[in-house]
């Protein structure tokens, strides 16, 4: 009752969570796109923008609002941004830089969510639009120029396709490869180098120092999935160092810092997320204050809004990841509950069927005893009656464990040596000579191994009785060799096999039992027409509940 109420509350919470997260991420994406377009349009200089605020607002809305549909229509968003780059190409300086930044990201989402054909179409459109946007009048389209244009789009496409393959591998149960970390590092280095290479000369650090800052900033992203907090601190320090020595470089490295904040937000608790957000805001304000003296309340608000976008996106991804993991755990628990319920149902049916027939055998044996049977027949009837009672008691105990597998439920297990001796005695009474040898060293083996060995001896001797018949001779040895418990059963061919029902799964069942305990079993005919079966178990083992 308690577990059911907890499960009901968890389902209600997951339903509420799905309702809450259906719409606000899209608003955050749209707001982030609009804010990025405004900031990238060179309107953050304190003076009115060259094209005018009206045109800046129009382009920002046209750029940001389609991003709200990124989760549902990434291909449409990609073609929309590509068209904006072409339409507003000559409207003003930096007017469509926000769309230019968003376009490769959107193409990466297309590569992650859609087929290769749609990815290729969106990539070609993005490359052409980027070429038109970056080309100045009169400049020829050289090979180096095209390398740059294609590289801007190709890198997110590769990352998106890899993420799609990684998701498929996870669905198949394969381990994720470390290639994603390599792509993070390579993408970080590519962006940092391309964004700062024009400032590598003419400063106190010269080419080597500035290049080292850019390369270190990009390489740090290779460890972002495993050490998000450390990478966030490292990126913050690099931005502050770059701002104090080469301020233009810090502007480019801030984007890498925002990426680190987004990944950190997806893994951290809300308290640490707040600390990371305040740290990033402080670093961003420090770099802005260094380059501008006329800071206003609007500036602080814009910076806070700009930093909250990657934090919100990362937090959303983390919430969805947690929700997906909990749903997977819930599905696994449901499947486990269904399996247990089915096993209990089968156990009840087996108990009813076997108990009915065994009970009938016991009653008939008792009736025959009271009818006056004497001599060997009376002894056989008494043995049948006692064995039937023992079987019924074992069945009741097993069914009780299956019905209530609580912490106090224990499986009634007889002494394994006694089980093997009893099996040998019963088969001997049926007309087969059995020689049983149990080495004293086997007493130090794990109980579960000895119990399984006893069951295999029972099944093996039963097979000898079925298939070899009267006149056969069986040799059973249970020894401890090389840290293994070894069970060997040999028998010679008999005169007439017993006409006993067989399921045809005796050896297969023994092999499955042995494999489940980490052992191995071999069985096959001997040259003289007999049969040999060998099973091995570890002397000490850990039983893992599944």
Q: What is the CATH number of the domain that holds 442?
A: 3.30.565.10
C-alpha span between 273 and 33 (Å, rounded): 22
Does residue 104 carry a pLDDT above 90? Answer: no
The last residue of one of the domains, among 155, 177, 199, is 177
Q: How many domains does the chain have?
A: 2
For residue 258, being part of any structural domain is answered with no
- Among 180-189, 410-419, 429-438, which is the least confidently predicted range? 410-419
pLDDT at residue number 132: 84
For residue 32, being part of any structural domain is answered with yes
For residue 450, being part of any structural domain is answered with yes
pLDDT at residue number 50: 55
pLDDT at residue number 125: 93
C-alpha span between 447 and 543 (Å, rounded): 11
pLDDT at residue number 545: 35
Does residue 546 carry a pLDDT above 70? Answer: no
Does residue 3 carry a pLDDT above 50? Answer: no
Residues with Cβ within 8 Å of 116's Cβ and at least 6 positions away in sequence, in order, are 161
The last residue of one of the domains, among 130, 157, 177, is 177
pLDDT at residue number 543: 38
Residue 47: pLDDT band by 50, 70, 90 thresholds? Answer: very low
The last residue of one of the domains, among 123, 158, 177, is 177
Residue with tokens 């469509």, as numbered in its chain: 96
* CA 67 to the chain's CA centroid: 29
Name the residue with higher pLDDT: 505 or 219: 219
pLDDT at residue number 405: 53
For residue 125, being part of any structural domain is answered with yes
pLDDT at residue number 493: 84
Name the residue with higher pLDDT: 333 or 504: 333
Please compute Rg for the chain using Cα positions: 38
Helix (H) or strand (E) holding 130: helix 116-134
- Among 134-138, 360-364, 367-371, which is the least confidently predicted range? 134-138
Whether residue 75 contacts residue 93, with contact meaning beta carbons closer than 8 Å, is answered with: no
Whether residue 194 contacts residue 172, with contact meaning beta carbons closer than 8 Å, is answered with: no
C-alpha span between 290 and 282 (Å, rounded): 12
Name the residue with higher pLDDT: 136 or 433: 433
For residue 533, being part of any structural domain is answered with yes
pTM: 0.44
For residue 290, being part of any structural domain is answered with no
Mean per-residue pLDDT for 173-197? 70
Residue 488: pLDDT band by 50, 70, 90 thresholds? Answer: very high
For residue 133, being part of any structural domain is answered with yes
Does residue 330 carry a pLDDT above 80? Answer: yes
pLDDT at residue number 411: 47
Full residue range of the structural domain in which residue 118 is found: 23-177
Does residue 374 carry a pLDDT above 50? Answer: yes
pLDDT at residue number 542: 45
For residue 544, being part of any structural domain is answered with yes
Helices (H), 135-269: 143-171, 179-196, 206-219, 228-245, 247-267
Whether residue 229 contacts residue 264, with contact meaning beta carbons closer than 8 Å, is answered with: yes
């Amino acid at each position: 009752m308690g577990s059911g109420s907890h499960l009901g509350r968890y389902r209600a919470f997951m339903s509420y969570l799905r309702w809450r997260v259906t719409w606000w991420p899209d608003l955050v994406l749209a707001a982030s796109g609009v804010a990025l377009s405004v900031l990238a349009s060179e309107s953050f200089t304190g003076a009115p923008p060259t094209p005018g605020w009206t045109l800046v607002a129009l382009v920002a809305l046209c750029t940001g609002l389609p991003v709200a549909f990124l989760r549902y229509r990434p291909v449409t968003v990609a073609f929309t941004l590509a068209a904006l780059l072409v339409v507003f190409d000559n409207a003003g300086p930096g007017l469509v830089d926000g769309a230019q930044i968003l376009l490769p990201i959107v193409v990466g989402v297309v590569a992650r969510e859609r087929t290769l054909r749609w990815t290729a179409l969106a990539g070609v459109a993005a490359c052409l639009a980027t070429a038109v946007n970056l080309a100045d009048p009169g400049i020829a389209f050289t090979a180096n120029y095209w390398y740059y244009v294609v590289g801007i789009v190709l890198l997110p496409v590769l990352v998106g396709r890899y993420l799609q393959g990684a998701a498929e591998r996870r669905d198949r149960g394969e381990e994720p490869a470390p290639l994603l970390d390599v792509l993070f590092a390579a993408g970080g280095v590519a962006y940092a180098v391309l964004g700062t290479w024009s400032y590598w000369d003419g400063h106190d650090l010269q080419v080597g120092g500035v290049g080292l800052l850019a390369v270190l900033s990009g390489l740090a992203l290779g460890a972002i999935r495993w050490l998000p907090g450390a990478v966030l601190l490292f990126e913050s320090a690099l931005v502050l160092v770059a701002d104090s020595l080469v301020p233009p470089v810090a502007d480019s490295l801030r984007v890498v810092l925002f990426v680190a904040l987004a990944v950190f937000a997806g893994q951290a608790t809300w308290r640490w997320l707040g600390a990371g957000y305040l740290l990033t805001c402080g670093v961003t304000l420090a770099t802005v204050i260094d380059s501008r003296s006329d800071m206003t309340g609007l500036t602080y608000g814009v910076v806070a809004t700009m930093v909250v976008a990657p934090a919100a996106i990362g937090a959303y991804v983390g919430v969805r990841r947690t929700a997906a993991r909990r749903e997977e755990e819930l599905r696994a628990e449901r499947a486990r509950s269904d399996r247990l319920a089915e096993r209990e149902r089968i156990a009840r049916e087996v108990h009813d069927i076997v108990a009915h027939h065994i009970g009938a055998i016991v009653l008939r044996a008792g009736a025959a005893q009271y009818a006056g049977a004497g001599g060997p027949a009376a002894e056989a009837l008494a043995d049948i009656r006692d064995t039937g009672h023992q079987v019924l008691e074992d069945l009741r105990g097993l069914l009780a464990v299956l019905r209530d597998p609580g912490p106090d439920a224990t499986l009634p297990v007889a002494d394994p040596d006694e089980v093997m001796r009893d099996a040998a005695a019963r088969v001997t009474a049926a007309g087969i000579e059995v020689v049983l040898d149990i080495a004293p060293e086997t007493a130090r083996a794990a109980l579960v191994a000895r119990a399984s060995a006893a069951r295999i001896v029972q099944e093996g001797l039963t097979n000898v009785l079925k298939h070899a018949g009267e006149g056969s001779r069986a040799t059973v040895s249970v020894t401890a060799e090389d840290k293994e418990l070894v069970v060997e059963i040999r028998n010679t061919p008999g005169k007439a096999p017993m006409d006993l029902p067989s399921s045809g799964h005796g050896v297969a069942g023994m092999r499955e039992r042995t494999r489940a305990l980490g052992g191995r079993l071999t069985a096959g005919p001997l040259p003289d027409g007999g049969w040999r079966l060998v099973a091995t178990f570890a002397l000490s083992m850990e039983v893992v509940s599944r």
